[in-house]
């Protein structure tokens, strides 16, 4: 089983960009689909984006489509979330997650969660 550590969060102005990274330990990273979720203040955790084992397919929440890009580097055991054109409503704790199947957002089977990284977008 992998362990996940996120980094790259911070404070950014609206319209700015951030890139989140999620480093995985363990030799089985390349057998997991990977996803990003977020929890905004006072809200339920929600799906943001996911990527298949090979990286051939990606899925996005409608709210981030066209602004966020998920990618992975299996040689580095790392998944990324490039976030552009950030909005105040993107403010949340962002979590990296590993799914032994394919997480499409409509249905996920998360086996491992990271500890989260705070993203704050000021207006």
Rounded to an integer, what distance in angstroms lies between the CA atom of residue 64 and that of residue 78? 21
Q: How many CB atoms lie within 10 A of CB 47?
A: 21
Contacts of residue 56, defined as CB under 8 A and 6 or more positions apart, other chains included, come to none
List per-residue pLDDT tens for the chain, 123 residues long. Answer: 889 999 999 999 999 999 999 999 987 888 999 999 999 999 999 999 999 999 999 999 999 999 999 999 999 999 999 999 999 999 999 999 999 988 888 889 999 999 999 999 999
* Encoded tokens for 89: 């409503």
Per-residue model confidence (pLDDT) at position 26: 81
* Encoded tokens for 5: 């550590």
- Kindly report the CA angle at 113 between 46 and 109, in degrees rounded to 5? 70
For 122, the enclosing helix (H) or strand (E) is strand 117-122
């Amino acid at each position: 089983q992998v362990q996940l550590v996120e980094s790259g969060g911070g404070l950014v102005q609206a319209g700015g960009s951030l890139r989140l990274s999620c480093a995985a330990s363990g030799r089985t990273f390349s057998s997991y689909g990977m996803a990003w979720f977020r929890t905004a203040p006072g809200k339920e955790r929600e799906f943001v984006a996911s990527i298949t084992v090979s990286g051939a397919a990606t899925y996005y929440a409608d709210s981030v489509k066209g602004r966020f890009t998920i990618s992975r580097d299996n040689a580095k055991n790392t998944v990324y979330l490039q976030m552009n054109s950030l909005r105040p409503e993107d403010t949340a704790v962002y979590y990296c997650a590993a799914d032994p199947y394919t997480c499409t957002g409509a249905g996920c089977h998360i086996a491992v969660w990271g500890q989260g990284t705070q993203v704050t977008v000021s207006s």
